[in-house]
Amino acid sequence: MTGRSFSSMPSELKPFQSINGIQQLAETRRFKAWFLDQFGVLHDGKLPYPGAISTLEQLLATYGTEMVIISNSSRRASTTIEKLRSLGFDTSLFVGAITSGELTHEHLLRRDDPWFARLGRSCIHMTWNGRGAISLEGLGLQVVDNVEEAEFIIAHGTEALGLPSGAALPMKLENLEKILEQCVAKKIPMVVANPDFVTVEARALRVMPGTLAATYKKLGGELKWMGKPGEIIYKSAMVMVGVDAADCIAVGDSLHHDIKGANVAGISSAFITGGVHATEVNSEKLQMILLFKLLP
């Protein structure tokens, strides 16, 4: 993981502090719980960052840190945990995982929220192709490919359009956006299962559903953002660990989602400069270093 981190603590007079890595935060023993983003912080989607696994092991062994993965992933929490396991992470290090996809699934299933309660059952499903389409099984939904039949949109991905058969039709982003133009004319609401605009994947940036949502918002469409920067994902993590806002810190690489979300939830945050904002950061000025290398 390349990058320096900045710590923001709402209760302090100095809102930002440049630090050389996790060790400085861990040694204070100030935070009982750490809420960790995954892409751009722990791994790049293909490989773990150098030292990431050993650092997490030491955080638990030396400092007793309770760690929760909070991720703007369209997928369920169990899939996220399995992904981390496949990359070599010991998943027993984590209390659990909360994803925007999990929150979306739960709200569509329960429908105890007034906004979700008014949604119909037929939907336009924007999903993944090469990354694997996301199943809507068990939600009692009917996927349609005709806007005239749709009652709402689910934005899980940016590569394909879900078909009534359960298959996914590969589709370019601009063609998905054309469908959105038809949807906004019908005033169809959108559920954004992943609010991220882009994510890190093998040192490149991949367009995420948040980009589609931003387009829909610009067109005048109604949106329901799930995950970060919404407060609910942070509250869910605090409940999972049993801590108050003052006892936790969120670590992430997106100012728009991780850091903004932590501020909304009233918790401290650490901004990792080597993730989605890496090309925007003056690496010469900050003398970029390996974040996880700092722990012995």
Record the tokens describing residue 92, joined without a space: 């027993």
For the chain, what is the mean pLDDT?
85
Please report the pLDDT score of residue 283 as a whole number.
Answer: 47
The closest of 152, 148, 105, 101 to 124, measured between CA atoms, is: 152
pTM of the model: 0.83
User: Count of CB atoms within 10 A of residue 208's CB?
Assistant: 24
- Asked if the 5-102+228-294 domain carries CATH number 3.40.50.300, the reply is no
Per-residue model confidence as pLDDT tens digits over 32-88 = 999 999 988 898 888 998 888 998 998 999 999 999 999 999 999 999 999 999 999
**Per-domain boundaries in the chain:** 5-102+228-294, 111-225
Percentage above 90 pLDDT, the chain: 65
44 versus 290: the higher-pLDDT residue is 44
Give 21's contacts (C-beta < 8 A, 6+ positions apart).
4, 5, 289, 290, 291, 292, 293, 294, 295
Q: Is the pLDDT of residue 92 over 80?
A: yes
The closest of 94, 15, 108 to 52, measured between CA atoms, is: 94
Please report the pLDDT score of residue 17 as a whole number.
Answer: 57
Q: What DSSP assignment string belongs to 216-247?
A: HHHHT--EEE-STTSHHHHHHHHHHHT--GGG
Superfamily of domain 111-225: HAD superfamily/HAD-like (3.40.50.1000)
**Whether the domain at 5-102+228-294 and the domain at 111-225 fall into the same CATH topology:** yes
Percentage above 70 pLDDT, the chain: 82
CA 14 to chain centre: 27
Could you tell me the pLDDT band of residue 89, with boundaries at 50, 70 and 90?
A: very high
Residue with tokens 């923001």: 8
Bridge-based pairing of strands 198-201 and 160-162 is unpaired
Mean pLDDT, to the nearest integer, of 4-18? 48
